[in-house]
Chains A and B, each alone.
Chain A
């Protein structure tokens, strides 16, 4: 299952990136001969929208933006969550408690309100979008990393480093971060779909990328307006989004199982060998 999902996602990513090479239509240029035609007509496999733009080309272009923004925003969240969580867990004591309270406050903030404020106050820019999405999904990651770092704090090798006179920064860089990395990479697979979903949500509200660029979210909001006459403009991008999220979900489940099972099996075998 996990392998099938990975293959599907890899295939989708390739299609989105390389698709424009063999789709013969520009996603932004209207085909005046074929306005709102149904799928399959005149070489438009997924049909066209009200102003004649090819839905297949637009879905692939939207996917390219959605996946890219999702990935970059996840990396932002990873950096934030790993840095914050590892520092809190390693520090312990009142510093850790204080930082945890900060996380609680961050998760209590009205996310949408803040994003709207940000996007209206500042010039619309990609980095702002990444910060907004990353700033939303990093919180869970930070909690997980905090818990794991707190476990590492009590390990004998960390104690040994303290006893050798290692400073906080040295312990963080040499021991905590390398040992948190594998877990962080697995969690990247779990927060990626969240980031994609949040981007689509913002796009649907018109808060993501501007016309004429399109992400899956902006395509959905256009499609909803044409639901009566041209339902395919909604259904195709929606199908792609749902399939992608489902694949990530299944993949995430296997990743989670793999994390758990590996620990149990390892303990079993070590026990047996002892």
Chain B
């Protein structure tokens, strides 16, 4: 009664992507597969499901109840027969994997029909995944649900055929911490109560550790560590595993009786002495309001905020809280935003044309997605020196020299200036983006979710880089994030946003240690329980 992969290897042409790898799923057990992007964890899942994209060749075999099915260029019929009946799949992004134009009920009934089960079970399945009001949900469309609800629906779809094993590929990476925990609790309940075998794939080792009986750590296609979860966490064999375990424990060491924050930024550590109370703030926003067309509620609802020189301020909130909208409104990147923004005493909102562009040149910005925020057709050196070219600073030689110096400052090799962005990893690309943001020695660096697209390993490196740059250059940092530990690592103050308003604003240690607002408390709690 087990399902296993034996000697799995995946190649793209002659290049080995994964393996050789063995793994086994058993009913009522949870196997965690952990690795960074590119480690082969998704390839493992796709091989097990027999869904590898064309152009990749798998070898090895799938063992199901003693029956061996070879993996090869073509999917064996016996392998395809496992899908659905034996194996269920929970996708990463339920919005992309649910049909947008058909009701949830229709999609469930279709799958039930394929497996010869009666339509009325659709309602029971939605109740099984704890969706509120399953009867009404059947008549609604995927876009009418929240991300967490959609993931529940995707799980219900996976259960339609009564599988014995569920493969969940990053089921919560698109969700906020609090919602993610609820979805994982649901999967865990299915495992305990229905005896499902679970394969949980994630880049987040601490998260997987909270649910898996056994973990397998992949790196660049090789198994670097495997064993019972407890044993791996207590005594990891590889440094790499230890790094993953500690990756987001930088600042957050939560305990039941008042959490302590080991390396919460303190003013002495992070910048020059605090600003005098009377100084003009470096960046100030006044009654910022933004209403997207056809949205029922404003995304920003009269927010006032100020950031002083050398200070780190985190805008913290879940998706939809208005934190990114606020960040963009402060940068004047949002058409239709109301309210006023002052940059160093100059009215930013009143500027037009060349004056506006000149003022923008004084702010460095780092965006979330390091893959999309660098022009793929520019060399790294040109990318880093682009702000200098835009504003006509220096000549070609001095700009190239500055670009190399910046690459060194962010911990890269200056020779990389000749290379193209696609030759770099996500973490390196984000360093390039930071180097670009620093090109004109700005006083203010704005980071919009700058570490949330990165693996744990790179996230830690980037946070350390940001906080040392802040210290050395006296940079003011506006850090938009949904990640408590990241906020704590770089900011002296935290503003918590919910539904377009600032619900709590204070020193980092106070906000995280003794949250005042119910919403902040929920955020902090979600984080703690997840690590339990």
Contact = CB atoms under 8 A, between A and B. Distances in A.
A259 to B, nearest CB: 16
Contacts of A159: 333, 367, 373
Nearest to B376: A179
Nearest to A171: B390
A268 B331 contact: no
Interface string B300-336: 0000000000000000000000000000000101010
Interface in B27-66: 37-38, 42-43, 46, 52-56
B359 interface: yes
A163 to B, nearest CB: 4
B494 interface: no
Contact of B367 (A160, A174, A265): A160
B46 A268 contact: no
Contact of A163 (B37, B363, B376): B363
Nearest to A166: B390
B471 to A, nearest CB: 24
A167 B43 CA distance: 43
B361 interface: yes
Contact of A164 (B361, B368, B369): B361
Interface residues of B, number: 41
B393 to A, nearest CB: 11
A160 B365 contact: yes
Contacts of A164: 360-361, 365, 386-387, 390, 436
A109 interface: no
A274 interface: yes
Interface string A153-180: 0011101111111110010001100110
A178 B420 CA distance: 14
B139 to A, nearest CB: 31
A269 B373 CA distance: 20
B378 interface: yes
Contacts of A160: 365, 367, 373, 433, 436
A271 B377 contact: no
B333 A178 contact: no
Contacts of B53: 265, 268-269, 271-272
A273 interface: yes
Contacts of A265: 53-55
Contacts of A274: 37-38, 42
B360 A272 contact: no
A92 to B, nearest CB: 9
B126 to A, nearest CB: 28
Contacts of A175: 375
B377 A178 contact: yes
A172 B115 CA distance: 54
B331 A156 contact: no
A157 B358 contact: no
Contacts of A272: 42-43, 46, 52-53, 56
A269 B42 CA distance: 11
Contacts of A167: 354, 357, 390
B390 A273 contact: no
B136 interface: no
Interface string A173-216: 01100110000000000000000000000000000000000000
A178 B373 CA distance: 16
A144 to B, nearest CB: 19
Nearest to A164: B387
B391 interface: yes
Counting chain B CB atoms within 10 Å of each CB, which of A159, A160, A170, A175 scores highest? Answer: A160
A43 B505 CA distance: 95
B464 to A, nearest CB: 23
Contacts of B357: 165-167
A157 B437 CA distance: 12
A175 B383 CA distance: 11
Given A162-B333, A272-B53, A157 B375 contact: yes
A177 to B, nearest CB: 10
A127 B307 CA distance: 60
A161 B386 contact: yes
Contacts of A163: 331, 333, 360, 363, 365
Interface in B414-458: 433, 436
Nearest to B442: A164
B378 A174 contact: yes
Q: Max chain B CB contacts within 10 Å: which of A156, A265, A271?
A: A156
Interface string A120-164: 000000000000000000000000000000000001110111111
A245 B357 CA distance: 49
Interface string A236-274: 000000000000000000000000000001001101111
6 contacts: A161-B386, A164-B360, A164-B386, A167-B354, A179-B375, A268-B54
Interface of A: 93, 155-157, 159-167, 170, 174-175, 178-179, 265, 268-269, 271-274
Given A164-B436, A174-B375, A274-B42, 20 more contacts: A155-B372, A157-B372, A159-B373, A160-B367, A160-B373, A160-B436, A161-B390, A163-B333, A164-B360, A164-B361, A165-B356, A165-B357, A165-B359, A165-B390, A167-B390, A174-B378, A178-B377, A179-B375, A268-B54, A273-B38
Interface of B: 12, 17, 37-38, 42-43, 46, 52-56, 331, 333, 335, 354, 356-361, 363, 365, 367-369, 372-378, 386-387, 389-391, 433, 436
4 nearest A-B pairs in the assembled complex, by CB-CB distance: A165-B360, A156-B373, A268-B53, A165-B357
